[in-house]
Structure formats: structure tokens, C-alpha cells
Structure 1
Amino acid sequence: MLRHLAGAKRCVSLVSNALIKRTPSKLCVPSNVASVVSIRHFGPPTHIKHSTANESGTMAEIKEEMMKRLGLDHGYQPLPKSREHLLKYQPKLEELPSRTMQDSFTSAIIPLSTNLLLQDKYVTYLGNVRMGRLLEDMDMFAAWSCHKHVVIPNLPANVPLPYTFVTILVDRIDFTDTLASGTADIRLSGHVSWVGTSSMEVVVWLEQMQNGSYQKLTRALFLMAARNATNTGAAPVNPIKPANEEEQLILDGGMARKKQRQLLGAQSIFKVEPNDPEQTIMYELFKRTTPNDTMELNKRILPPNCRWMSHSYQMSTIPSFPEHRNHHNRVFGGFLMRCALEISWAAAVLYCRTRPKLERIADISFEKPVSVDSFIKMTAYVVYTELNYLQIMTVAEVLDPHSGNQVTTNTFYYTFSATHTVTEVLPRSYHETMWYIQGRRKFKYSMGIEPHYE
């Protein structure tokens, strides 16, 4: 989990000095700084072990079990089955017993080694695994962990769970250097790591069987909201009672991350003006792209070995269908994450003209639900580059075919790395400059350098 973040601010000057000594292949961040700001929780608590007792089967079996618990039927209905009668079974917070992290810990398998039809959905043409597909599975698995955590002692037998679980955001997804194969089993595991009154943080790991043992692929933090049976209001969740000091440390880390998210949200470039160092960067960008020998104020010049941001994007309009729905007849958040990742990857490939490596995914926010009859416009912009790294901002908008209105529902930030120094991207307008500053912030954060706000 995150170490205490207070010390990270004291390390910013060390990081700034270290960045001066960087090489094209890596940013040199001191190990002591990285340990302060990185998430150490890359595996379950040491007292929790994988066993047959906490295995949940395959991801397909988990999907079936969740439908059974929620009292849902197969087949699409434009008007979903009413769950209003379940509202009377919603418990009060004081009625819910405490839970440990062991209680919600579980694992599931994506059986790529034996299921050839499944392989076709997950494999790339090079034989690797499609990371977008795995994001879909991780989102569903996070919801399953919430099912494992929430226990209602007084719920009558055969009454469906009077809850709805929705994804609020995905905090940070880090990837290891292990190359995932499209033909070997992948194991998901995780547990609820922090709870509020009606929210839950779930940590999810991906591992793949390679050379006889499971190798770490990635780790993600999902913030989930518990809603009532009709998804019209919040619902209470079981508190966590740490089983030992390690679980207490993980629980404290969850609260630290909540405060960090609030800080970053309050300091968003779209809410407050850039700080003094960022305003200096903005002025330098203006000077670099404005000719000195002309009075044409609107004329901009592109420096050598650079590209305009306005020429560095890819866009796709995606019709959604009932097959993309979640259990509540809205577009599944995992589907949005997959589409966003895949167009972002395409934008990165076309920009740097090579196959880049996905390093990290920064916070993913889900602002509004998306109906299953929507048209979704995904636009992936290269908003910041540094050495061999690209920072991509992908915006998802829902298009109303009747009114023509567009509503932004999600924003995604991806960090890719190439094998060579990439062409520098530069903004040409003021709003592009804001995107550039925001992309720079996300890049620094993804590299383990906490933003420093004056």
C-alpha cells in the first residue's frame, strides 16, 4: 500500500534533481523517493494464502454467481426486472458485522490454456494478451470482491442481495515487465482493503502461470460504491476489523489514498489556475512557438522534431449494445475501459511508429452512467511527452443522436514507453496548454513523483 504520503512532499526537490540526470530509457528516481510514493501492496497480506477454500472458479462462473445472488435472469429486457421489493431488506449500518480482509479475499481463473474459444478473444496477433480484456475482468472481479465482503445476517434465505455495486474510479494501475501470453492461464485475486460508510476500496492483482509458477502482471485499486437495490441511494457496508498490524497498515493506507485523491481533485488544472512553476512552463512554450521577427500575434511556429497536439490524436465512435451491459442495464465500466485503452494504444503506436509498452494507467473516473443505446465517442490525445514516454489523455463522450448534444462521461490517462526518444508534442492553443500541464502532472504522478503544489 501507500506509505505515509507526508514525506513525499519533502522529496520533490530530490526528484527534480534526479530528473536532470535521466537517460532516454529511464527516469532516474531515487529509490527512497519511489518507496515513499509508490504502492507497495503488490500481493495479499502475508497471513493470507491462496487455497481451494478461497477460490471462486473461473470468471464465467463468477458472472453466473453474481447474477444468481442479485436475482437476475439471462436475456435482455428493455425494462429491467424490478428490484423495488428488495428495498425493505436493506440493513442499517449497526446491523452489519465487522469483516476482515481474509473474509473478502478470493481468486479466479481465466482458463486461456484450455479454452481455445476464449483465447481468440484475448490474444493479439503477436500472441500476447489484450490488456483491455483484462481490465474488463478486473472490473467485474472488483464487484465480486464486494459481494464477498458484504454479509447481511438477517437476510432471509432465497432473497436476492438488496445491493447494487458500481465502480466510482480506478486509482492507479501499475504493470510489471512480465509479458503476458495469450495462451496461458491468468489468475485474478484480491480483497476489500478499505471501507467508508457506503464505499469500498478493492485491490486486484493479475498473475499468469509461466514456467511453473505465477508471475505478477499488474495491480489495480478500484473504488466501489454500494447502492440500494434500485440504484437510487447509498447503502451501508460492513466495517473492516483488522486481523493484525499488517491489515491495520493496509486500512490506514486506504484512508491516506482517499485524502490524496481529494487533494489531487481539488488541485485539478480544470478547477484552479496553474501554479508558479507551471506558469513558467506555459510561458516557455509560448516563446518556443512564437516567431521573434514578426508582429503577427496569432502566428505560431513548430520547432524542429516536434508535433502539434492538434495533429496527434485518434478518434472512434462506438455504438453500444445490450451485450455491453452490466447487471443493471447500463454500459459495463469494464467495456469502456477496454475501448479507451485500445484506442489509446492505437494513438501511441501511430504517434511513435513502434509498438509501445503500457507502463501505467492513472486515475479513471466514472462521472455518469451510460445507457445501452448510446453512441460513445472516444478521443485519445497525446498531451505530453518526455524522453521515450508518452502521456495520453482519452476522453469518452456520449452522443445524443437526436439533439446532437455531447456529455463527457469518463477521462482516462495512460503512460506508454517507446524503445527510443519520441517526437515532442507541443500545444498550440490555450486549452491545449491546459491539457499539456494536466498530462505533465499525470505523468509525474505515474512515475512516482507526487505533484508539488505551491
Structure 2
Amino acid sequence: MDAGNTAAGPQTELLTKTPAQSRTTIVYKFAADDILREQYRDPWNQVRIGKMLEDLDALAGTIAVKHCSDEDSTTRPLLLVTASVDKMVLMKPIRLDTDVRIAGAVTYVGRSSIDIQIEVTQVDQDGVGSDTQIALTANFTFVARDSVTGKSAPVNRLSPETERETQLYEEGEAQDKLRKKKREEQKGMHGNVLHKFNAEAVRLNALLAEGRVFSDLPALADRDSILMKDTRLETSLICQPQQRNLHGRIFGGFLMHRAFELAFSTAYAFVGQRPCFLEVDHVDFLKPVDVGDFLRFKSCVLFTQLENKWQPLVNVEVVAHVTRPELRKSEISNTFHFTFSVSSDALKNGLTIRSVVPSTEEEARRIIERMDAEGLLD
């Protein structure tokens, strides 16, 4: 999704900037501002995570713009696009009775890509935050395109100054090399196709075995399991001008916000208790979403992890479809994966969570792909 901002475009000479030049900080004065606190309060007196995700995307866009800017007003503006968001883990609940600081800066740049790290930190009453109070860390990747040709465009270089900045830069460089290596490996996988096909067939049959019992012998099906199709929810909307950025595209943060709200509702209906958000996995923004688009969000519980009885995990998938009825066409814009758990009090009171069973090969493949991505299957 587009970041919603313009930045300095093609330059005769690229600049070298430090992370400090892009650093941006926002402080939410929840303790003192009743109106602000009410805007971010959820029904359980905690921060609305979906709204916070939207804010993080907006801040990342601002940081990307600051890094790409120059002093020449004649340069053509760049189009900055959110390419992906890395896994975000909620390390502690974000409270409403203390102030919250959101700070971020550029950590690594490639030729046309910009990596940005943002930290959400609880702030003490004296206004001082510490590393031990970090509630959430988010990593965004933006790419720069020429606003006229649409082709990738080079961005300003980055020169880390501190030891921590150098460490983050080296980590970003390693991740960039890993992504390139994976792309090359995918191009050369043809020799292993047969072996991979046979191994996947075994896993598919194992996953589908219980689903066949539900279909063929429903009276004998496991009462502690439920078909994936029976966990589905869906919502739809028409994208409005108020949700667009300067380029007329819908903010990526808005999509994450709406996807989270549906995922939370899906987990709530599945568990029967208020779920506890833990993390959102890596998100790639595949297709742009424009003002006026008919957007459909479809969710389901993809699978559960019940090995740890004191922290069972519920994995919810949300797929965003850009639907164009006039063209009889529907395309996937984004796929989101959220992980939830439940409170320990609910578990102590005897709450049990069902296993999720696929009933079709397509559903089983989605489970296998997700488990592989999380390293849950060998």
C-alpha cells in the first residue's frame, strides 16, 4: 500500500543520511487527555490494537519521507509504497493509564528499499521510558518508485553512527541477502518438485482424514474438533475518500486495522471468551486498493496449537479481496495471519479450545503452508 506521502524524487546526486535525521517520535498523553484516551479505549479498557496498527503504518510513511527528502524543490517527488510489514509481537499489554511513546527511524536501505523499525513504549509517570517497558516492535519495508514511470527509484543512502544503529543496519543487510537468496532458490526448485509433491501428499492426507469423518460419518466425528468452514466470518466495505493517501490509494494501516478487527471477532466467536492478541505475522502488500473499490475481508480459524494447555494458540487468517462486480473480477490484495490466546482465568475455569479440521484439499494446503512458514512442521 502507498505510504500516503511524497518525497524527493530522482536526484542528480543521492544524499547520505543518518538514522537520527529520520527519527520521529509521537507521545500519546493518555494519562492526561480524556478525549484521546476514549478514542483508543476498547470495551475492556485496553488500547485498540487495530487503531494502533494504523498509526504505526502512518508513522512509518512519515519516516520514509524524511529519509528521502532533500533541499531541492525542483526534484520530482517519489512514490513511496509499503512493501511489507514484518512480524509484530505484543510483548505486554498497552495500558491506558500511562502515556505511550511511539518512536522509529530508518535502520537499513537498499537501492530502492527502506527498512524502518518502530517501538511502542510505556512511559513512566516521570516521563521516562526504558527498554524493559517496550510493548511492541514493528518493522516496515518501503520501496520507492518514480512517480511518472512507476519504475523503482534509488533512495538516499544510510550511514549508521552508534553501535546499536550499526547492529540494526547489519541485521537489515543480512535479511536483504536472505530474501534475495530465497528468490533464487525458488527459481531453481524444479529438480525437487516430485519429492516435494510426494511429501506434501502424505501431509495432506493426514490433515484430511478427520475431515472425511465429518463428511462421511458425522455422528462419529470428534466432538473436540470443528470444520474450518464453520469458523468463517466475513465483512465488506466500499473504500471511501477519507481513507486515501495523497496518491488516491487506501492506506495499508487502514487495511491492517480492519483485518485485525475481523480476526479478533473470529477468535472471540471461536473461543467463546475474549481473546488475547499476541502477534501478527509478516504481511506482504500484493495489490493496490483504490478509492471506490469494493473490499471484502474473509476470515477463518486456520489451526490451533494446544500443546501448551496454559497458553493455547488460535491462528486466524484474514484474506482481503478487491472485488470489481462490473468486471466480474476479484483479486487478493493481502493475506493477514494473527495469533491469539485466552486469559489464564478462563483456562482455570475449564475453558477448552477445539482443534480445527480442513474439509477440502485447498484448506489443508493453506494449513500446511502456514505451519511451514512458522516452522511448526518438519
TM-score (norm 2): 0.83
Match of 1:311 among 230, 239, 259: 230
Whether the aligned pair in 2 keeps the contact of 1:391 and 1:439 (CA below 8 Å) is no
Corresponding residue for residue 296 of structure 2 = 377
Match of 2:11 among 64, 88, 91: 91
Whether the aligned pair in 2 keeps the contact of 1:130 and 1:182 (CA below 8 Å) is no
Q: Which amino acid aligns with 1:299?
A: D
Rounded to whole Å, the distance in 1 between the matches of 2:80 and 2:212 is 51
Q: Rate the CA distance shift 1:298–1:137 in 2: closer, same or farther, 3 A.
A: closer
Rounded to whole Å, the distance in 1 between the matches of 2:66 and 2:197 is 44
Match of 2:118 among 204, 229, 248: 204
Corresponding residue for residue 299 of structure 1 = 216
Rounded to whole Å, the distance in 2 between the matches of 1:115 and 1:275 is 58
Q: Which amino acid aligns with 1:287?
A: A
Match of 1:238 among 138, 156, 164: 156
Whether the aligned pair in 1 keeps the contact of 2:19 and 2:105 (CA below 8 Å) is yes
1:217 Cα deviation after fit: 1.5
Q: How does 1:167-206 map to 2 (within 5 A)?
A: 167-177=82-92, 179-182=93-96, 184-206=98-120
Tell me the alpha carbon deviations over residues 291-337 of structure 1, each in whole angstroms, 9 at most, x when there is no partner: 5xxxxx97365323000001111100122111111121111111000
1:109 and 2:27 correspond: yes
Rounded to whole Å, the distance in 2 between the matches of 1:120 and 1:245 is 40
Rounded to whole Å, the distance in 2 between the matches of 1:119 and 1:375 is 32
1:435 Cα deviation after fit: 1.3
Rounded to whole Å, the distance in 2 between the matches of 1:185 and 1:372 is 34
Q: Which has the higher strand share?
A: 2
Q: SS where residue 279 of structure 2 aligns?
A: strand
1:279 Cα deviation after fit: 4.6
Q: Which has the higher contact order (CA 8 A, sep 6+)?
A: 2
Rounded to whole Å, the distance in 2 between the matches of 1:358 and 1:239 is 36
Corresponding residue for residue 4 of structure 1 = none
Rounded to whole Å, the distance in 1 between the matches of 2:61 and 2:97 is 26
Rounded to whole Å, the distance in 2 between the matches of 1:363 and 1:397 is 18
Rounded to whole Å, the distance in 1 between the matches of 2:63 and 2:246 is 15
1:359 and 2:359 correspond: no
1:362 Cα deviation after fit: 0.7
Q: How does 1:44-443 map to 2 (within 5 A)?
A: 90-92=10-12, 95-153=13-71, 155-156=72-73, 162-177=77-92, 179-182=93-96, 184-212=98-126, 213-214=128-129, 215-230=133-148, 232-261=150-179, 279-290=201-212, 299=216, 301=218, 302-387=221-306, 388-419=312-343, 420=347, 421-442=352-373
Q: SS where residue 402 of structure 1 aligns?
A: helix
1:441 Cα deviation after fit: 2.8
Q: Which amino acid aligns with 1:126?
A: W
Rounded to whole Å, the distance in 1 between the matches of 2:62 and 2:222 is 51
Corresponding residue for residue 294 of structure 1 = none
1:238 Cα deviation after fit: 1.2
1:139 Cα deviation after fit: 0.4
TM-score (norm 1): 0.70
Rounded to whole Å, the distance in 1 between the matches of 2:341 and 2:181 is 28
Unaligned runs of 5+ in 1: 1-62, 71-85, 292-296
Q: Which amino acid aligns with 1:132?
A: G
Q: Which amino acid aligns with 2:114?
A: M
1:116 Cα deviation after fit: 3.6
Whether the aligned pair in 1 keeps the contact of 2:108 and 2:115 (CA below 8 Å) is yes
Rounded to whole Å, the distance in 1 between the matches of 2:97 and 2:148 is 40
Rounded to whole Å, the distance in 1 between the matches of 2:125 and 2:197 is 50
Q: CA RMSD in A?
A: 3.0
Q: Rate the CA distance shift 1:186–1:231 in 2: closer, same or farther, 3 A.
A: farther
Whether the aligned pair in 2 keeps the contact of 1:391 and 1:440 (CA below 8 Å) is no
Whether the aligned pair in 2 keeps the contact of 1:96 and 1:151 (CA below 8 Å) is no
Q: SS where residue 318 of structure 2 aligns?
A: strand
